[in-house]
Amino acid sequence: MLTEEQRSQAIAGLVEAHRTKKPCVQLSTTFPSIEIADAYAISSAMAQLKIAKGSRLIGHKIGLTSKAMQASSQIDEPDYGHLFDDMLIQDGAKVRHADFCVPRVEPELTFILKEPLKGPNVGLIDVLRATDYIVPSIEIIDARVQNPRKIFDTVADNGAAASLVLGGRPVRPQDIDLRWIGVLFYRNGEIEETGLAAGVLGNPALAIAWLANKLAPFDVTLEPGHMMLSGSFTRPLWAQKGDTLHADFGPLGGVAVQFV
C-alpha cells in the first residue's frame, strides 16, 4: 500500500504525461508496493482533478472483459475508468494523432441508461430493464504510462480511457440478442479484426452489472443518462497518423474515426 505522499507523486506523474503526451515511468516500477486499491484511488483523484477543471462526468468504461485480456494482465476480473464530456468525438471526425501518447482503438457497445443502477446483486435483467438504448462505438485508448504495463498502471491511468466515438444505429435492448452483435473492424479499408459481443463476459450487459456491483461498496450509483462502455470484443488496433478506422456493426450501422 502506498503512502499519501507516494499517491500524490503518482498523480503528478500522470498529470505531466497528459500534458506532454509522453508516457511516464510505470507506477508499478516507481512504487513496487502499489496495490489495486492504490491504483483506483489514484484514478479517482485524477477524475476529481478533471471535474475541478470543468469536465463533466458522463459515465464509465469497463475493460479487460475477455478471458484473454484478463490473462494477459494477470487479473481475474475486469477494470473500470471514468468517461467525461470532453472525451466525446463525433462519428467520422478527424482527430489529431499528436493529441495522444500511443493511441489504439477498439470496437465496443455503449449502454445509455434510463434508470439508475446500484449494486449489490445487480444482474442481467436489471441492466436490460435500466438501459434506454445501446449504440455502436469506437473507444480510443491511450497509455500515459510506459510499456510494459501491469494492471496497477492501467487502472491508475483511468483504464487507459482517452476518447469515445458514438455512431451507427441505436437499438433497444429488447429488440436484439446482444450476444450475437458482430463487428468487422477495418483499418484503411482492410479488415483487421472481427468479433462477437458474446466475447464480453458472455453478454456485454453483464459488464454493466459487474460495474454496478463493483461500485456498490463505495455508494456509487450508475446514473440515468450516463454512458457505460462495456468493453471490446476484438483485439485493439494501433492507430497511426493517417489511419482511418471503421467498425461495421452490420444492421446496427458503422462508426469511424480518422487520425491526422
4, containing H or E segment: helix 4-20
Cα distances from 41 to residues 123, 152, 156, in angstroms, run: 26, 11, 8
pLDDT recorded at residue 6: 98
> If you average pLDDT over residues 88-100, what whole number do you get?
97
Q: Are 79 and 99 in contact (CB under 8 A)?
A: no
- The gap from C-alpha 32 to its chain's centroid, in whole angstroms, comes to 25
**pLDDT 10s digits, 44-56:** 999 999 999 999 9
How far apart CA 172 and CA 158 sit, in angstroms, is 29
Which amino acid belongs to residue 143? A
Band (224; pLDDT cuts 50, 70, 90): very high
Residue 64 has pLDDT above 90, yes or no: no
Task: Retrieve residue 153's grid coordinates.
Answer: 498502471
pTM of the model: 0.95
**pLDDT tens track for 135-144:** 999 999 999 9
Residue pair 144/104 in contact by the 8 Å Cβ criterion = no
Q: Kindly indicate the confidence band of residue 65, based on its pLDDT and cuts at 50, 70 and 90.
A: confident
Domain with residue 122: its CATH number is 3.90.850.10
Query: How far, CA to CA in Å, does 52 sit from each of 12, 17, 161, 226?
Result: 15, 19, 19, 19
Banded model confidence at residue 68, pLDDT cuts 50, 70, 90: low
Does 257 score more than 90 pLDDT? yes
- Whether residue 258 has pLDDT greater than 90: yes
Query: Tens digits of per-residue pLDDT, 145-191?
Result: 999 999 999 999 999 999 999 999 999 999 999 999 999 999 999 99
Angle CA(43)–CA(226)–CA(199) in degrees, nearest 5? Answer: 75
Structural domain containing residue 187: 4-259
Q: Tell me the average pLDDT across 68-87.
A: 81
Domain count along the chain: 1
CA distance linking residue 135 with residue 168, whole number of Å: 7
Angle subtended by helix axes 36-52 and 4-20, to nearest 10: 60
Strand partners, 113: 131
Is the separation of the CB atoms in 116 and 127 below 8 Å?
no
Are 50 and 84 a contacting pair, CB within 8 Å? Answer: yes
Q: What pLDDT, on a 0 to 100 scale, did the predictor assign at position 66?
A: 74
Sign of the C-alpha dihedral, residues 169, 171, 175, 181? positive
Q: What does the mean pLDDT of the chain come to?
A: 95
Is the confidence at residue 16, as pLDDT, over 90? yes
Residue 246 has pLDDT above 90, yes or no: yes
